[in-house]
Structure 1
């Protein structure tokens, strides 16, 4: 009997999963770069309660894993080295070893599509890739995924790669060219560059939970946590905001309660509605469009909870089943599957109603009808088919956005694309974002919260480099209001309020007809200068001096110069209204701009390059441009 029990115990132990050796955090791996001159923090996971011992080169550290298995080891600061060292993590279950780790400077490059734009889409690609091999530059690219709450792992494993033609080609061009210049200036310092970007993303999508709470309140955080637990409940909690918005814009009507009030037609074909010739959506696809389908269910199929798959809707949907909201999603490539409670279903005909919104480019069905189905509990999927109906909404504009939506959700990109980086120390962050926030208020406050949140994660030493938006859009021969110029001013104000930040303008290297300018080569060099602490031109003050206004600057090397002409272009003086703005012809006096004002009209502000796509020619002796700005004029 005793032998039988021993055999049972032996078999049980053999079938139980073996405890894994300590594992480093998601962003730590072979070939990585760790920040010089700062305590080196290595996070990871191990058996709960175990003592983890680490050895980095010849330095040792010890920590106890918490109840969730997480641990953080702290090693002393180290100097830069191009000689690879190893990291060993060990506890009673075994050890894990990482090899070829360099000590140098680590930069995170983040933002939207202009930071995401890759080297193979920038200038001089063939030569740049040919010359790219450099074992002193290591690259890490983060996959694009969102989450309503912070994660400890990325959506898929990541790995560090030395710079070569293959790894550089699909890497952020602005980031790579910054690193290339830094390596040229400091050959003895390795560079670690992290690409974590998402085209079209809003600034708030990159906030930490603390910053979300500071900007949008604890209720917003609570909605995100509810969505993590129960997307259906979260959608129903959010829907009243959507209802209020629609009623206010559609004379109190509620089409979700009675879809017969809408004018329905068969969709011309199952495709983006841009292809529906003659509907009006082919010429103006930015619209709110209702989509409708019905399915017949047996009593058995309607008796239990089902799953509704509607494929991907470009850009945003709110979906109902028999008048009950079941899901809300923003994301043009995101496939939707919504839980449908049994009490929403009935035997016979059931109505599926979608309110779809498109705010740019293509709209409506993103994939084929094979992606759309309803699956009853315990049953097979029922295709929804291609014979939908549509009705163009009379309401213009974009409905309210839920806290979890993909591109403008609160912290959703930070949670899956930044949080898993853990507590690693950074030299700096290069941030190129803002196009998605044009027309929205308080971008300077958003920068403040972004900076604060990321410094809580990566350390207070992290230098923030902000790219002021490039010139894009219509050009004007008269002073004009400009949302892009206002966003640039907010970027300037956000940087000016921070003691360890720099503004790097791209206002002269954009393309008016292309929101994604290819000249990231020069931009990268400017980012490198700012990363090194070299002063960048910034407006300081404007004040009256007799009949003149004196505009002063900081960060100017040598004298200011107007390239290609006798005076700077794009200078305005204004009173309190847009209509009062008029062109001015200034002169340059060393590092000052002098503007004569003797037209008898009121002057309270000075503007420079205040346009979506200004033509600029004001530079310092390094040919670094002066950023676009507005300054109040003091007495």
Structure 2
């Protein structure tokens, strides 16, 4: 086990931190600083050095601590600018120009937040006319780290909106600002910090995850890894072996315990094999093959190349674990420790977990081989077998998509405690495998970021997951619907959060719907009512309760703009009544309520609306905000 090595992703995670110079790198020319709040500036200087910071007519002093860190708080300012920020020590001066005071929003999440304006539907004209000096943009690069960083690495820049800058910027974030600025006439600063495919746990601090519970073993592995990556991977590998042994599935030493099936020649993405149980997204699969070696080859140093794999793999040779890697389509190459290979038949076993699509071992067949010191190669061109595994293994804690705290450490911690007006969050697709737990995680995540940004009432605007997949012929169980319900309940529990419903603007055939213009508009509407106190707006139709009277269940709604209305039909569809099973039912709008006809012989206990991966739902208010999907009890 001591030969466990950190593979492709480790090089990325081990990049050195960017050195700070007087001002933290998040502060650059063209930045927007949050209005109507004390303005926090920070950076590094020589230890015990006196630092003076000034903006406009305000000036304050501080002394760098023994490690050179300093921080000041300047008085709050109203919207305006441009201003100059100056930071001085006895021997150095840093000046920022073209600084605006306005409202700053942090936009984060996974791929639907990352999707750029150029990827949105019909975005060409929007990009062409996007020049706007009062909207400033900053992109945070994808950086994952096992410990919290104090500064963003690389070149960080703020820039006024322009066709060149906007085209590659988060579409949801940009369209939100464009819509909001029609009614909120102040400069807007947008910080985009998403990571495609990321689980919410990767955007939470280690402390928040400990408080949330259920992550202790993975957090311990991450702690070991942060101090010594080789030791961390060894520790994790031992834990994975213990996990599978606990399942009675030590296939790397007892392959006869599995039911093996011959894999297609050339392997490739397993959803293309024509195997019904592998056509669904994601999953876990065991692989095995063997290679015959001479005594001379077996005695030489060797690397095992397995080509590209998605998403996480653990590899054993002759019963000895030699490596684990996490990453999409990353080339796998593992050093084989001395003494592991032997003359004759050598067995190779892999466990591959994948959380979404494009799963398996793919690429040219000759990318899978053993390469020996001196340049010779033995291809792994023999027969491969596979065994479908129903159990999902624990995932590598230092992965940037299914790990713990990695994206928070590399991308969010360096921004704290920058002044913010609010946070936009478009994430959840990667948590649908444990959808019920998402409510607690979302609440813990909001509390975590409020603490980090020193803003106890920091508002959060949450995009509820859109529709995905074909509409159902009959009521069905749905992890996507359960995740949406977790989002709804977490927001309901929080006086400083709002939900942008997108159940009607998804893409039944794709994970990344292109209508980000409307997502941005709905987020802006939620911001106006939640953050800016626009009393003319309400959040949209939400259930206030359901009661039964004879053959009718009445669902009461609040949050309505105007009145309830059905689109494209006289009455709404998508309602279900449930007892042991659920049934679609006839619905009729009655003022601020919807009346549901109880099927004969049924005693309903629950009402569900829009409960499917990709439902068709037609209840709106007259401002064209859709009713939120939900499940509530019947009284």
- TM (normalized to structure 1)? 0.85
Indicate yes or no: 2:623 matched with 1:616: no
3-state SS, counterpart of residue 509 of structure 1? coil
Q: Distance in 1 between matches of 2:375 and 2:98?
A: 51
Q: Distance in 2 between matches of 1:414 and 1:21?
A: 19
Q: Distance in 2 between matches of 1:293 and 1:133?
A: 60
Describe the shift of the 1:480–1:354 C-alpha distance in structure 2 as closer, same or farther (beyond 3 A): closer
The aligned residue for residue 563 of structure 2 is 559
Q: Distance in 2 between matches of 1:55 and 1:591?
A: 54
The aligned residue for residue 606 of structure 2 is 605
3-state SS, counterpart of residue 582 of structure 1? strand
Q: Distance in 2 between matches of 1:226 and 1:369?
A: 36
Q: Distance in 1 between matches of 2:343 and 2:57?
A: 71
Q: Distance in 2 between matches of 1:604 and 1:161?
A: 54
The aligned residue for residue 126 of structure 1 is 124
Residues 295, 351 of structure 1: 8 Å contact kept: no
Alignment of 1:119-518 (within 5 A): 119-187=117-185, 189-215=186-212, 216-247=214-245, 252-257=248-253, 268-269=265-266, 272-273=268-269, 287-290=285-288, 312-320=308-316, 323-334=319-330, 354-365=350-361, 387=381, 390-440=384-434, 441-458=436-453, 459-518=455-514
Root-mean-square deviation (Å): 3.5
TM-fit CA distance, 1:39: 1.4
TM-fit CA distance, 1:381: 7.9
TM-fit CA distance, 1:239: 3.0
Q: Distance in 1 between matches of 2:475 and 2:239?
A: 38
Residues 178, 528 of structure 1: 8 Å contact kept: yes
Q: Distance in 2 between matches of 1:229 and 1:327?
A: 19
Moved more, 330-339 or 421-430: 330-339
Q: Distance in 1 between matches of 2:277 and 2:295?
A: 33
TM-fit CA distance, 1:392: 1.3
Residues 294, 352 of structure 1: 8 Å contact kept: no
Q: Distance in 2 between matches of 1:489 and 1:452?
A: 19
3-state SS, counterpart of residue 526 of structure 2? helix
The aligned residue for residue 6 of structure 1 is none
Moved more, 348-357 or 411-420: 348-357
Residues 297, 349 of structure 1: 8 Å contact kept: no
3-state SS, counterpart of residue 205 of structure 1? helix
The aligned residue for residue 8 of structure 1 is none
Residues 502, 530 of structure 1: 8 Å contact kept: yes
Q: Distance in 1 between matches of 2:216 and 2:344?
A: 43
The aligned residue for residue 535 of structure 1 is 538
3-state SS, counterpart of residue 418 of structure 1? helix
TM-fit CA distance, 1:337: 6.3
Q: Distance in 1 between matches of 2:232 and 2:552?
A: 59
The aligned residue for residue 71 of structure 1 is 70
3-state SS, counterpart of residue 318 of structure 1? strand
TM-fit CA distance, 1:70: 2.6
Residues 298, 348 of structure 1: 8 Å contact kept: no
Cα shift readout 1:23-66 (whole Å, capped 9, x = no counterpart): 32232211111111111112222223323221123222233333
Q: Distance in 2 between matches of 1:510 and 1:279?
A: 28
Residues 122, 519 of structure 1: 8 Å contact kept: yes
Q: Distance in 2 between matches of 1:21 and 1:329?
A: 31
3-state SS, counterpart of residue 410 of structure 2? helix
Structure 2: gaps (5+ residues): 1-18, 531-536
Describe the shift of the 1:61–1:114 C-alpha distance in structure 2 as closer, same or farther (beyond 3 A): same
The aligned residue for residue 105 of structure 1 is 103
3-state SS, counterpart of residue 88 of structure 1? strand
Moved more, 457-466 or 585-594: 585-594
Q: Distance in 2 between matches of 1:43 and 1:267?
A: 58
Residues 273, 281 of structure 1: 8 Å contact kept: no
3-state SS, counterpart of residue 634 of structure 2? strand
TM-fit CA distance, 1:467: 1.0
Q: Distance in 2 between matches of 1:143 and 1:437?
A: 23
Residues 110, 431 of structure 1: 8 Å contact kept: yes
Residues 357, 398 of structure 1: 8 Å contact kept: yes
Cα shift readout 1:238-258 (whole Å, capped 9, x = no counterpart): 334433443465xx3533236
3-state SS, counterpart of residue 73 of structure 1? strand
3-state SS, counterpart of residue 439 of structure 1? helix
The aligned residue for residue 92 of structure 1 is 90
3-state SS, counterpart of residue 72 of structure 1? strand
Describe the shift of the 1:113–1:291 C-alpha distance in structure 2 as closer, same or farther (beyond 3 A): farther
Structure 1: gaps (5+ residues): 1-19
Describe the shift of the 1:352–1:586 C-alpha distance in structure 2 as closer, same or farther (beyond 3 A): closer
The aligned residue for residue 10 of structure 1 is none
Residues 30, 160 of structure 1: 8 Å contact kept: yes
TM-fit CA distance, 1:367: 6.4
Q: Distance in 2 between matches of 1:466 and 1:65?
A: 38
The aligned residue for residue 588 of structure 1 is 589
Residues 291, 355 of structure 1: 8 Å contact kept: no
Moved more, 551-560 or 253-262: 253-262
Describe the shift of the 1:363–1:217 C-alpha distance in structure 2 as closer, same or farther (beyond 3 A): closer
- TM (normalized to structure 2)? 0.85
Q: Distance in 2 between matches of 1:296 and 1:78?
A: 76
3-state SS, counterpart of residue 544 of structure 1? strand
TM-fit CA distance, 1:133: 0.7
Q: Distance in 1 between matches of 2:496 and 2:128?
A: 35
Task: Give 2:574's match in structure 1, choosing from 567, 570, 573.
Answer: 570
Moved more, 116-125 or 396-405: 396-405
Q: Distance in 2 between matches of 1:94 and 1:435?
A: 47
TM-fit CA distance, 1:478: 2.2
Residues 291, 380 of structure 2: 8 Å contact kept: no
